[in-house]
Amino acid sequence: MIKKLFLILFFFLVGFRSIAGGGLLDIVVNIDIKNQTVKSILITIEEKTAVSFTYSPDMIDVQKVVSLSIQNKTIRQGLQMIFGDGVRFKEVGNHIILLKNETKEDIKALLKEDLDYIFIGVITDKSTGKPIKEASIYEIEDRNATLSDDLGFYSLTVPATHEVVSLYIKKKGYREKVIVLKGDGKEKLLNDIALDPIMADVSLMTGKSVSRVPQNINDRAISGQLVSDETYLHGENLDEIDETRWAQVSLVPSVSIGSNLSTNALINNHFSLNVLGGYSKGVKGVEIGGLFNLNKENVTGLQIGGIANLVGGDVTGFQVGGLANLLQGNATGAQIAGISTIMKRDLKGLQLAGVSAIVRGGFEGAQISGVSNITWKSSRGAQISGVFNMVKDSLYGGQISGVSNFSNGGVNFLQIAGVSNFAHKNYGLQIASIQNFTRENNGLQIGLFNSSIRGKGVAIGLFNFVKEGYHKTEISANEIFPINVIFKTGTQRLYNTYNFGARFGNKRAYAMGLGFGSYFNLTKNEKLKLSLDLSGQLVFENDFKAVEFAQLYKVSTTIDYQLAKWVTVFAGPSFNLNMQQFADVDGAYSTDISFMPIADNSYSWGRSIYWIGGQVGFRF
């Protein structure tokens, strides 16, 4: 089992290492220069790309004249052509730092001395001369960092593993500065540094209403003291630094205990083990946290947290959290948690949650939740919930819920619920045991009650209502009942009918029932139509003194002519079936209605009578 787990982690590390993007040194350039100084070549590369070279002229000979042709080669290859093995290159932010390489003997000598470099100095504002507090001083070689205090003073101790070292100094709102230093066996290196403020263009602005600015996940987590102030400030000041390490181990980020110390907001890790919790810039492989994992930017790979995973960017891969997965960007892959939430943007993949799966951007794939799924934008795929689903934009896949589905503002192709469905536009299928509603129905609704505002779709249920649809009342007479009142509601394609009939005199009888029908235009001006109705009614002939009735089934077709906008006359034949079941001891049926039968059959369960009839009336 341990061997299998090791192999899985290994393949994640190798796989996601291979897809990591290149840096400044991997930018491809084309240069053809003859008899120019190295300094001129570096300036030409700067002009052709977005990089800036930093070096010490005392340590690197940039006045040497060379001829060079670089065609479709990276900056790294070009620099190696210029300097050979005599110079090493380091990337930080937008800078490529050129550092003189020491020999192996020089490095061994430094290690034997067990010497530490102590960088000290004061950080000031170049325009005012005032000290700058909380500026980040970052040692590039071994990725150590510190902050300046309230007086601008800083002190950074690093092991002397190289003779030449470099510092990257940055404060949010100021331009960065890179310096290259040579130790020369000195223990303390004094450097006062003045930073240029970034002056924004000032222009007259019109007044605007105050609006609430949403706080991202990382800010909310940090404000809750999940990470130390020093770690947070380094992340703000040195946001452009994007370092990658193979592995790190962290105990808890709030006190900066771990292998990355306070620089973990700058580091992407291929493997990250957080004993209690951890904070890093991102993951490009595997991250495991005993309680939580907190990432400033993106996660690519596998992330497992005992309680929660919080990501400020995108997730590509798998997230497993005991309670929640929270992210600010897009998710492509799978999220599994007791409560799973995406705060913004899209989900493309699968969410499984014991309580609720929420997406506030978009969703393509499948959401499966024991209680509720909520998507506040587009949806493609399937939502399956034990209780409730909601999409507040477009649903292009399906919603299946034990209780209710809700889709507002978009298109629905499938909704299946135990109780009710709501959709903005239905172009597919709505099925609910109780109620379906859509603003525009161009598909099929199946439920006890179906309603919509408009549309040309079909609804099948006990009661169907379309606000801007077909609503008519008929007064008619037929061969059995001289008075019939029929209410029709629905659409031209399919409407429901609610039928009431009465016959007075010595042989009183009453009928009530339901049906459905459709009508077709026979002329272009729509004055002449053909209606086709099917209905079923219960017939009583005993003034409701006993629960004894006959069943009357009727197929009717009529030719309709529109006399005026609100008045139509109609007439046509009908085919009738009367099924009688209630009989006394002498075999006489309590409800016996028919008209010139064409067939009269008796069975063990009762009697059936068939005849041809007709109706005539008007509709308004």
Query: What 3-state DSSP class applies to 4?
Result: helix
Q: Which residues of 243-255 are buried (b: 16+ CB within 10 A; e: fewer)?
A: bbbeebebbbbbe
Cα 354 from chain centroid (whole Å): 18
**Is residue 344's pLDDT more than 90?**
no
Query: What 3-state DSSP class applies to 261?
Result: helix
Q: Are 326 and 340 in contact (CB under 8 A)?
A: no
> End-to-end alpha-carbon separation of the chain, Å?
78
**Residue 255 — very low, low, confident or very high, per pLDDT cuts 50/70/90?**
low
Q: Helix, strand, coil: what percent of the chain each, to 5?
A: 10, 55, 30
- Token output for 435: 């109620």
What's the pLDDT score for residue 395?
67
**Residue 204 — very low, low, confident or very high, per pLDDT cuts 50/70/90?**
very low
For the stretch 133-173, pLDDT in tens is: 999 999 888 888 999 999 999 999 888 877 788 899 999 99
CA dihedral 563→566→572→575, nearest 10 degrees, is: 180
| Cα–Cα dist 522/517, whole Å | 16
Q: Give, in degrees to the nearest 5, the angle at Cα 73 between 70 and 78.
A: 60
| Nearest residue to 301 via CA among 361, 340, 239, 309 | 309
Residues ≥6 apart with Cβ < 8 Å to 66: 33, 35, 36, 37, 38, 41, 82
Give the residue-averaged pLDDT of 464-475.
93
**Is residue 557's pLDDT more than 90?**
yes
| Cα–Cα dist 406/513, whole Å | 32
**Residue 195 — very low, low, confident or very high, per pLDDT cuts 50/70/90?**
very high
**Residue 357 — very low, low, confident or very high, per pLDDT cuts 50/70/90?**
confident
| Cα–Cα dist 267/567, whole Å | 79
Main-chain phi, psi angles of 19, to 5 degrees? -100, 5
Residues ≥6 apart with Cβ < 8 Å to 242: 23, 266, 268, 281
What's the pLDDT score for residue 368?
82
Give the residue-averaged pLDDT of 115-143.
91
Residue % of the chain over a pLDDT of 90: 35
**Is residue 121's pLDDT more than 90?**
yes
**Is residue 360's pLDDT more than 80?**
no
**Residue 13 — very low, low, confident or very high, per pLDDT cuts 50/70/90?**
very low
Among 310-314, 328-332, 382-386, 393-397, which stretch is predicted with the lowest mean pLDDT?
A: 393-397
For the stretch 424-449, pLDDT in tens is: 888 888 999 899 999 899 999 999 99
Residues ≥6 apart with Cβ < 8 Å to 105: none
What's the pLDDT score for residue 14?
42
Report the chain's mean pLDDT, rounded to a whole number.
Answer: 83
What's the pLDDT score for residue 22?
60
Q: Half-sphere exposure of residue 537, counting CA atoms within 13 Å on the CB side?
A: 28
Give the residue-averaged pLDDT of 18-46.
81
**Is residue 184's pLDDT more than 80?**
no
| Nearest residue to 334 via CA among 319, 353, 313 | 319
Which amino acid does the sequence have at 546? A
Q: Please state the pTM of the whole predicted model.
A: 0.64
Q: What is the 8-class DSSP label of residue 9?
A: H
What's the pLDDT score for residue 284?
93
The residue with tokens 């950080």 is 123
| Cα–Cα dist 512/515, whole Å | 10
What's the pLDDT score for residue 7?
45
For the stretch 283-302, pLDDT in tens is: 999 999 999 999 989 999 99
CB atoms within 10 A of CB 164: 21
For the stretch 68-91, pLDDT in tens is: 888 888 999 989 988 888 898 888
- Token output for 51: 């990089």
Q: Give, in degrees to the nearest 5, the angle at Cα 228 between 223 and 229.
A: 75
CB atoms within 10 A of CB 262: 24
**Is residue 306's pLDDT more than 50?**
yes
| Cα–Cα dist 405/430, whole Å | 10
Give the residue-averaged pLDDT of 103-114.
74
- Helix 38-48 and helix 75-83, axial crossing angle in degrees, nearest 10: 180
Bridge partners of residue 473, in order along the sequence: 487
Q: Give, in degrees to the nearest 5, the angle at Cα 530 between 527 and 532.
A: 145
What's the pLDDT score for residue 260?
60
For the stretch 540-556, pLDDT in tens is: 887 666 667 889 999 99
Of residues 112 and 181, more confidence is placed in 181
What's the pLDDT score for residue 209?
46
Cα 194 from chain centroid (whole Å): 45
What's the pLDDT score for residue 11?
43
Q: Are 123 and 152 in contact (CB under 8 A)?
A: yes
| Nearest residue to 250 via CA among 223, 269, 222 | 269
| Nearest residue to 143 via CA among 285, 258, 297, 50 | 258
Q: Are 191 and 121 in contact (CB under 8 A)?
A: yes
What's the pLDDT score for residue 212?
45
Q: Are 335 and 349 in contact (CB under 8 A)?
A: yes
By CB atoms closer than 10 A (0-12, 13-18, 19+), residue 136 is buried
What's the pLDDT score for residue 161?
76
**Is residue 206's pLDDT more than 50?**
no
Q: Are 610 and 594 in contact (CB under 8 A)?
A: no
Pairing of strands 463-466, 449-454: parallel
